[in-house]
Amino acid sequence: MVQRGNSNSRDVYVRQLSALLRQHHDAEALRVAEALPTKFKSDSQLLFLHATALERAKKWDKAIDRAKRSLRVKEHPNAHLLIAHCHKVLGETEEALQSLDRAERLSPGLEQTVQQRSGVLEAAGRFDEATAILAELVERKEASGTAIRPGLRIEWSKLLVQNKRLDEAIAFIDVTLGMSGLPAPMRARQFFLKAKALDRKREYAAAAEAAARANEIDAKPFDPSKSTSQVDRLMRDWSREKMATYPISTCDSEIPVFVAGMPRSGTSLVDQIIDAHPKAAGVGELDTIERFATKISRAFDPSKPDGKQFGSIDSFRWTRAADDYVRSVKKLAPEGAERVANKALSNFLLLGVMSRLFPKMRVIHMIRDPRDVAVSCFMGDFNNYMHPWTVRVDWAAQLWCESMRLMDHWKSSFDVPILDVYYENLVADPEHEFPRLVEFLGLEWDDRCFGFHETKRTVHTLSYDQVNRPLYTSSCGRHKHYASLLEGVEFPAYDPTAAR
């Protein structure tokens, strides 16, 4: 652990923060940065280290703010690179590219700038541009025998897969995996990329094996019974009878739309369809409501009188939180948007809270074959801390059942409109399903929704390279290629055609 100096000198704080970040003691680094003496809060290097700690904590907007403060004191490329990364994560492609241009002007030819630019373009689905930028750098290094850093290798691996240079991608990934000292997260990412390449080659057994290797790395313990208990508790605490005694906001906005469903169930596709409508927008996965739900859960005491169960967080504060949310999403959406969709993965858990915040909201419930969901989650590069259940298909199957059980509860517990959309029907019959979706939003049909894949919008989910191309049905029944992976796992009966 880093030794703390007794001196208040600027250099002591620089060394301390640098060491904490280098050793990935990120929470401690942020604590130290937040507690810096006032006299050091205008120091360019300390502001940048503070920005780095905020970036590690995924506080993107605050990280951008601190990095810009650092730049106002002194221009340096690393702050521009950090800002570019934050904009990339937020889906702000053009802003990210502008920051990279500034970094390039300050320090021409930086490898990190080239790598980040390629990554930003790749994330935006601009694969040809990303490949052209990175190919020259990779080829130059290979020709000179210069080692290619792991981060650069991962970016190049992604592009090889996206460009369907699958054999080349697998060979390149295998070399990377053979490198000594490769950090665990990078090893996992390479195995997932190998699984993707093998899947596209239709070598499904080998793809499943590569995904299994990835999932073994840094897997977290998970108890499925806790998910059942969580749903039981939500159904108990958020019944129709109990909700009638809870505070409710007076927010009458019809702007909020929430897309709920399991990961890999088509929520990104619906988000894109909505965003393609000229009077609607999608803002991706916002955690604003989750933060408010955490706050009220800490205050919740069911033994208190009706209306007082959340302590001082009364109807006035619920209304303020709702109005703040509406203002924030209007800023993120194009001017004039009448509906704004949020597809955060936690939405299905929070619909009780949402129904009291936004009495006029709409909810779209995405449903997909649980076998396809399980396979796609197992093959996907998820955050093991947030979604530890994705590493096993039987755990994914149980989560699917619990999500359906909870959604059935919500449908019977409040009067907010909820539209069930089956992924298989959506992709097989867009002429019927797309207008049905838009009609549910209370909007007039617009043919631009059929061109959802033509937008220049950046989508930051595992589906980013799928929703940026025309509609396809090949993902339906994906589980058939992975029968051995699903062997012995019980799945509920599933028939989307019954909903037509």
Q: How close are the terminal C-alpha atoms of the chain, in Å?
A: 61
Alpha helices in 7-59 (DSSP H): 10-22, 26-34, 44-56
DSSP 196-228: HHHHHTT-HHHHHHHHHHHHHTT-----HHHHH
Q: How far apart are CA 281 and CA 56, in angstroms?
A: 28
Indicate the helix (H) or strand (E) that contains 341: strand 339-342
Q: What is the pTM of this model?
A: 0.84
Q: Which of 143-147, 368-372, 456-460 holds the top average pLDDT?
A: 368-372
Cα-based distances in Å from 105 to 80, 100, 102, 109, 130: 11, 9, 5, 9, 19
pLDDT (tens digit, 9 = 90+) per residue, 310-338?
A: 999 999 999 999 999 999 999 989 999 99
pLDDT (tens digit, 9 = 90+) per residue, 378-410?
A: 999 887 777 899 999 999 999 999 999 999 999
- Where residue 465 falls (left for φ over 0; alpha for ψ -120 to 50; beta otherwise) is alpha
Full set of structural domains in the chain with CATH: 230-367+377-470 (3.40.50.300)
pLDDT band for position 218 (cuts 50, 70, 90): confident
Q: Are strands 339-342 and 280-282 parallel, antiparallel or unpaired?
A: parallel
What is the per-residue pLDDT for 4?
A: 44
DSSP 453-485: GGS-----STTTTTTTS----TTTTGGGGGHHH
**Mean pLDDT rounded to a whole number for the chain:** 91
Is 50 exceeded by the pLDDT of residue 238? Answer: yes
Q: Which of 52, 80, 87 is nearest to 460 (CA)?
A: 87
Cβ-contact 110, 118 below 8 angstroms: no
Indicate the helix (H) or strand (E) that contains 229: helix 224-237
Is 90 exceeded by the pLDDT of residue 456? Answer: no
DSSP 137: H
Q: Which of 105, 33, 104 is nearest to 69 (CA)?
A: 33
Is 80 exceeded by the pLDDT of residue 498? Answer: no
What is the per-residue pLDDT for 81?
A: 97
Percent of the chain residues topping a pLDDT of 70 = 95
Cβ-contact 396, 373 below 8 angstroms: yes
pLDDT (tens digit, 9 = 90+) per residue, 103-157?
A: 999 999 899 999 999 999 998 888 999 999 999 899 999 899 898 988 899 999 9
Cα-based distances in Å from 228 to 38, 61, 388, 405: 48, 35, 15, 10
Cβ-contact 84, 120 below 8 angstroms: yes
Q: How far apart are CA 92 and CA 165, in angstroms?
A: 28
